[in-house]
């Protein structure tokens, strides 16, 4: 028996005592982080938002087993937010669609969530009308043609059904009830808890053929933006859920097969949010380091290639920086890459890491 089949659905209940302490800590961290963001000033807080939203898009999609190009996502977010960054690259329409959904949710958080808006989000996620190799319903609720909507794992013949969503014929009624609740001002529920309830409620209805998880997390982010009272994002719930993906799916399944008491789900969601806020400290420290770095080297003469690669290092370069990687990224010859790097070593911007020969790599001075 699934939770939506219980008498009283969707009147969820919970006991606040088990998670009262973590809710207090979440509120405290939220206030502290918002204060730090304001103190950083607009350019740095905009950079923090850029990094956070990029991370949110990448990790929410990764939870579903799909990898997006980081540079495309970052460029798309920056263009849409009007942030000037070096090395902008074109983004394909799939990346643009995911970014469009996330930014609409978080930047326009004060606007009502409507059926039309949700349908456009799902359309943005699947611009070709397909999911993988399969054609799906896009821009409308799922129908009954394919049979019950089930979440299944395992090989054919030994499948395990983790969840079966409500039948298609009740979707419009279920979604209208959800949207009415989500849009109303309800002083009886903490706005942070409302994000957790909204996530669970939406993903339990599972109104689309595909994209339900990503849209549920976007709805949660929208409600968290309402709770913060700002469109500036400085923590990524999806990034933390990606780290805890196994527990995330386990708790969802247990809650969807349980009764209307969702205390355990709320406790986990708040704890995950708390860990997400704690991780923000590292991200803000990296942004402040970047600002100090460019202040220190404000008068250092750098060519366009050097500026591009230094920004990539400051933004979290994957792996070690070698002359061959420099040449590939900067689209220059190996000799030019070597001269660029040696110039930065001489100017004490880069330092050579231990090791030598063909494996010689470099890092920023002062790290």
The more confident residue out of 175 and 149 is 175
Degrees to nearest 5, angle at CA 226 with 213 and 49: 75
DSSP assignment letter at 261: B
* Domain final position from 288, 322, 352: 288
pLDDT of 188 over the 90 cut: no
What's 243's domain CATH number? 1.10.3290.10
For the entire predicted model, the pTM comes to: 0.84
The pLDDT of residue 91 is: 94
Task: Say if 175 falls within a structural domain.
Answer: yes
The more confident residue out of 302 and 186 is 302
Q: Please indicate, yes or no, whether residues 331 and 355 belong to a single structural domain of this protein.
A: yes
* Domain final position from 288, 315, 337: 288
Q: Please indicate, yes or no, whether residues 283 and 313 belong to a single structural domain of this protein.
A: no
| Domain span including residue 340 | 300-364
The more confident residue out of 363 and 39 is 363
How sure is the predictor about 40, in pLDDT bands with cuts at 50, 70 and 90? confident
Q: Please indicate, yes or no, whether residues 104 and 167 belong to a single structural domain of this protein.
A: yes
Task: Say if 269 falls within a structural domain.
Answer: yes
Q: Please indicate, yes or no, whether residues 267 and 338 belong to a single structural domain of this protein.
A: no
Task: Say if 143 falls within a structural domain.
Answer: yes
Task: Say if 293 falls within a structural domain.
Answer: no
Q: Please indicate, yes or no, whether residues 276 and 161 belong to a single structural domain of this protein.
A: yes
Task: Say if 119 falls within a structural domain.
Answer: yes
Could you tell me the CA-to-CA distances from 49 to 83, 138, 260 in Å, in that order? Answer: 10, 30, 36
Task: Say if 295 falls within a structural domain.
Answer: no
Average pLDDT of every residue of the chain: 92
Q: What is the pLDDT of residues 258-315, one digit of tens each?
A: 999 999 999 999 999 999 999 887 777 787 788 888 888 989 999 999 999 998 888 7
Q: Please indicate, yes or no, whether residues 27 and 145 belong to a single structural domain of this protein.
A: yes
**End-to-end Cα distance, the chain:** 55
The answer to whether the Cα torsion of 17, 19, 25, 26 is positive or negative is negative
Q: H or E segment at 357?
A: none
Task: Say if 294 falls within a structural domain.
Answer: no
The pLDDT of residue 183 is: 97
The pLDDT of residue 237 is: 95
- Mind giving me the DSSP string for 305-327? HHHHHHHHHHTT-SS-B-HHHHH
How sure is the predictor about 356, in pLDDT bands with cuts at 50, 70 and 90? low
Could you tell me the CA-to-CA distances from 42 to 36, 46, 349 in Å, in that order? Answer: 11, 6, 26
Q: What is the pLDDT of residues 97-124, one digit of tens each?
A: 999 999 999 999 999 999 999 999 999 9
Q: Please indicate, yes or no, whether residues 42 and 134 belong to a single structural domain of this protein.
A: yes
User: How many other CB atoms are there within 10 angstroms of residue 88's CB atom?
Assistant: 14
How sure is the predictor about 358, in pLDDT bands with cuts at 50, 70 and 90? low
Task: Say if 253 falls within a structural domain.
Answer: yes
Degrees to nearest 5, angle at CA 353 with 347 and 354: 135
Q: Please indicate, yes or no, whether residues 203 and 315 belong to a single structural domain of this protein.
A: no
The count of structural domains within the chain is 2
- Summarize the confidence of residues 136-144 as an average pLDDT: 95
- Summarize the confidence of residues 319-346 as an average pLDDT: 93
pLDDT of 68 over the 90 cut: yes
Q: What is the pLDDT of residues 216-239, one digit of tens each?
A: 999 999 999 999 999 988 899 999
Q: Please indicate, yes or no, whether residues 177 and 141 belong to a single structural domain of this protein.
A: yes
Task: Give CA 223 to chain center in angstroms.
Answer: 14
Q: Please indicate, yes or no, whether residues 314 and 243 belong to a single structural domain of this protein.
A: no
For the record, the structure tokens of 52 come out as: 């956070």
* Domain final position from 239, 260, 288: 288
Q: Exposed, middle or buried, 71 (CB in 10 Å: 0-12/13-18/19+)?
A: middle
Of 220, 227, 234, nearest in space to 34 by CA: 234
Q: Please indicate, yes or no, whether residues 310 and 338 belong to a single structural domain of this protein.
A: yes
Degrees to nearest 5, angle at CA 83 with 80 and 86: 115
Q: How many whole angstroms separate alpha carbon 104 and alpha carbon 101?
A: 5
What's 346's domain CATH number? 1.10.10.10
Q: Please indicate, yes or no, whether residues 198 and 69 belong to a single structural domain of this protein.
A: yes
């Amino acid at each position: 028996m699934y939770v939506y089949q219980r008498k009283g659905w969707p009147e969820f209940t919970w006991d606040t005592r088990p998670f009262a302490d973590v809710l207090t800590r979440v509120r405290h961290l939220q206030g502290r982080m918002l204060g730090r963001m304001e103190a950083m000033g607009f350019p740095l807080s905009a950079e923090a938002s850029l990094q956070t939203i990029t991370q949110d898009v990448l990790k929410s999609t990764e939870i579903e087993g799909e990898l997006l190009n980081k540079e495309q996502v970052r460029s798309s977010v920056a263009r849409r937010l009007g942030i000037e960054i070096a090395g902008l690259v074109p983004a394909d329409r799939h990346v643009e669609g995911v970014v469009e959904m996330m930014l609409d949710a978080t930047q326009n958080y004060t606007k009502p969530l409507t059926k039309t808006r949700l349908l456009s989000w799902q359309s943005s996620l699947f611009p070709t009308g397909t999911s993988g190799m399969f054609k799906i319903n896009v821009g409308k609720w799922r129908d009954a043609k394919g049979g019950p909507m089930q979440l299944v794992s395992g090989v054919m013949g030994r499948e395990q059904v983790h969840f079966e969503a409500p039948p298609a014929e009740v979707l419009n009624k279920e979604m209208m009830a959800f949207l009415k609740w989500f849009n109303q001002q309800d002083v009886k529920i903490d706005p942070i808890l409302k994000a957790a309830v909204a996530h669970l409620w939406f993903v339990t209805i599972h109104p689309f053929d595909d994209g339900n998880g990503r849209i549920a997390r976007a709805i949660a982010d929208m409600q968290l933006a309402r709770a913060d009272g700002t469109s500036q994002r400085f923590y990524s719930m999806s990034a933390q859920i990606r780290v805890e993906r196994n527990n995330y799916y386990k708790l969802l399944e247990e809650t969807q097969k349980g009764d209307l008491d969702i205390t355990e789900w709320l406790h986990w969601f708040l704890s995950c949010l708390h860990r997400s806020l704690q991780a923000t400290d590292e991200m803000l420290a990296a942004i402040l380091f970047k600002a100090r770095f460019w202040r220190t080297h404000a008068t250092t003469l750098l060519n366009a290639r050097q500026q591009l690669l230094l920004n990539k290092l400051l933004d979290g370069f994957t792996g070690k920086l070698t002359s061959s990687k420099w040449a590939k990224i900067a689209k220059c010859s190996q000799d030019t890459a070597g001269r660029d790097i040696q110039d930065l070593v001489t100017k004490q911007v880069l330092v050579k890491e231990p090791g030598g020969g063909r494996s010689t790599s470099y890092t920023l001075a002062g790290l």
